[in-house]
Amino acid sequence: MAHKIRFMETILRDGQQSQIATRMPIEDMVPILETLDSCGYESLEVWGGATFDSCLRFLDEDPWERLRTIRSHVKNTKLQMLLRGQNLLGYHNYADDIVESFVKKSVENGIDVLRIFDALNDTRNLTTSIRAAKEAGGEVQAAICYTTSEVHTIRYFVSLVNEMERSGADSICIKDMAGVLTPDVAYELVSEIKNATSLPLELHTHGTAGIAQMTLLKAVEAGADIIDTCMSPLAEGTSQPCSESMAIALEGLGYNTGLDLGPMEEVAKALLPVRDGFLASGVLNPKVLGVDPKALLYKVPGGMLSNLLNQLKEMHIEDRYGEVLAEVPRVRADMGYPPLVTPLSQMVGTQAMMNVISGERYKIVPSEIRDYVHGMYGRPPVSISKEIREKIIGDDEVITCRPADLIEPQMPKLREEISQYARSEEDVLSYALFPEQARDFLGRREDPFYDVPVQEVSVSIDC
């Protein structure tokens, strides 16, 4: 019997996040959901990552309603989300009671698999979300954030997998968010992890550097059980390798994918006009469709590239893109070689941009970078030098405990703050993660005059 390779489809989450900055509305998804459900995927990644923020900030959508809508159309395939451990879907650590409630509600609203990671690979930041997911009946996929540095060795990653298995993971993911995992290292890493655990192993990578297909193939040869791919309309470039092409290639090599190309072609055909619309509007920047071998030097993930381009474009300094990219690895080294994944990718990218724009390194330092150097995000892979630490936080102390241990329970206060507009616990959680955006969204939903400016009328009376 042919070895079966299962596929996880990313077009509704990471595929669109990597290429169109997560701007696809639910209206573009609904017509293809039932067909997508019949393709034979192991799971569909539909939520988490930047989708929550984007729904509230740009699309005027309730992210919880989006999840419920998708679940109502997808009856057979598991729904998967990306969760940033103690950061959830936001950009800093939240109190344990917020994490517990958010994970519980995610499962209740339709999520089957929670891919949980920590940006620093600090497993202390995974414990609450893993426990909450198991208690809620969800399937936990713990993810190691792959990156390269003097400390990120094969032994380091295998040790992380062992910690994650002890924490209760049901499967393991190698999350290569920057597309820098080379085929030879992929083969060795997958082989060593498979020797160390019997848990299913999944590989996630990006096509940014042009090597992703080879990397997936070598991972499959080494024993990977599941691979992440994206349907052709939003595949390749900064996204994942093409689902249809990988299925055809692996079937030709004797692997059983379980995929049905018929409905896959229908989905791709339906989404092509959607892709073309984003291309015509400028949301899909052609630069993210190409191959950039320098990604192997910059270690910049696809979603970070598309968002960075959008930011520079909004500031009318798109021509300084190359300068900012070159500054990213320098900032990363200063910060102790954190993996460039959300929220660290945005933080490092913003600091690199500030360094370039201001003309002086660390003249302007965002509060998030200060918090990071204080230890509020967890342990950096490599200690930050005294020189950089003093430049950013002076003589302040650095914490050594699990950051969330310093955060008091917050849900009771949040429920009170948003009680005027919240109908449900889900509404409160939206407010907990993105206070300004959620308040505006919920306010407009509950009060038609919420954001209508007050008109001052002066009346003169002639006597």
Angle at 399 between CA 103 and CA 140, to 5 degrees: 20
Angle at 14 between CA 82 and CA 83, to 5 degrees: 10
- 426 and 320 in a common domain: no
- 104 and 189 in a common domain: yes
Instruction: Answer yes or no: is pLDDT of 60 > 70.
Output: yes
First to last CA, the chain: 99
In a domain, 166, yes or no: yes
Instruction: Answer yes or no: is pLDDT of 163 > 60.
Output: yes
In a domain, 399, yes or no: yes
| Contact between residue 226 and residue 8 where contact means Cβ atoms under 8 Å apart | yes
Residue with tokens 């959300």: 342
Q: Note the pLDDT of residue 322.
A: 87
DSSP for residue 147: -
- 424 and 376 in a common domain: no
Instruction: Answer yes or no: is pLDDT of 454 > 70.
Output: no
- 77 and 140 in a common domain: yes
Please give the residue that has the higher pLDDT: either 438 or 288.
438
**2-37 b/e (C-beta count within 10 Å ≥ 16 → b):** eeebbbbbbbbbbbbbbbbbbbbebebbeebbebbb
Final residue in a domain of this structure, among 360, 383, 405: 405
Domain limits for position 163:
6-286
- 100 and 227 in a common domain: yes
Distance CA 331, CA 35 (A): 44
Final residue in a domain of this structure, among 405, 420, 435: 405
- 270 and 128 in a common domain: yes
Q: Note the pLDDT of residue 294.
A: 77
Q: How many CB atoms lie within 10 A of CB 206?
A: 31
- 370 and 326 in a common domain: yes
**What string of DSSP letters covers 212-245?**
HHHHHHHHHHHT--EEEEB-GGG-STTSPPBHHH
DSSP for residue 292: -
Give the pair of three-digit tokens for residue 269: 């055909």
Q: How confident is the model at residue 129 (pLDDT cuts 50, 70, 90)?
A: very high
Number of structural domains the chain divides into: 3
- 220 and 142 in a common domain: yes
Angle at 227 between CA 226 and CA 230, to 5 degrees: 140
Q: Note the pLDDT of residue 459.
A: 46
In a domain, 291, yes or no: no
Assess whether the previous peptide bond of 435 is cis (omega < 30° from 0): no
- 50 and 104 in a common domain: yes
The model's pTM is 0.90
Instruction: Answer yes or no: is pLDDT of 460 > 70.
Output: no
Instruction: Answer yes or no: is pLDDT of 19 > 60.
Output: yes
- 453 and 314 in a common domain: no
Q: Note the pLDDT of residue 301.
A: 66
In a domain, 125, yes or no: yes
- 265 and 357 in a common domain: no
pLDDT by residue (tens digit) across 169-183? Answer: 999 999 999 899 999
| Contact between residue 9 and residue 241 where contact means Cβ atoms under 8 Å apart | no
In a domain, 1, yes or no: no
Q: Note the pLDDT of residue 295.
A: 79
pLDDT by residue (tens digit) across 208-243? Answer: 999 999 999 999 999 999 999 999 999 999 999 999
pLDDT by residue (tens digit) across 360-412? Answer: 999 999 999 999 999 999 999 999 999 999 999 999 999 999 999 999 999 99
CATH of the domain at 381: 1.10.472.90
Instruction: Answer yes or no: is pLDDT of 461 > 80.
Output: no
Q: What are the phi and psi torsion angles at 256 (to 5°)?
A: -100, 115
Query: What mean pLDDT value characterizes the chain?
Result: 93
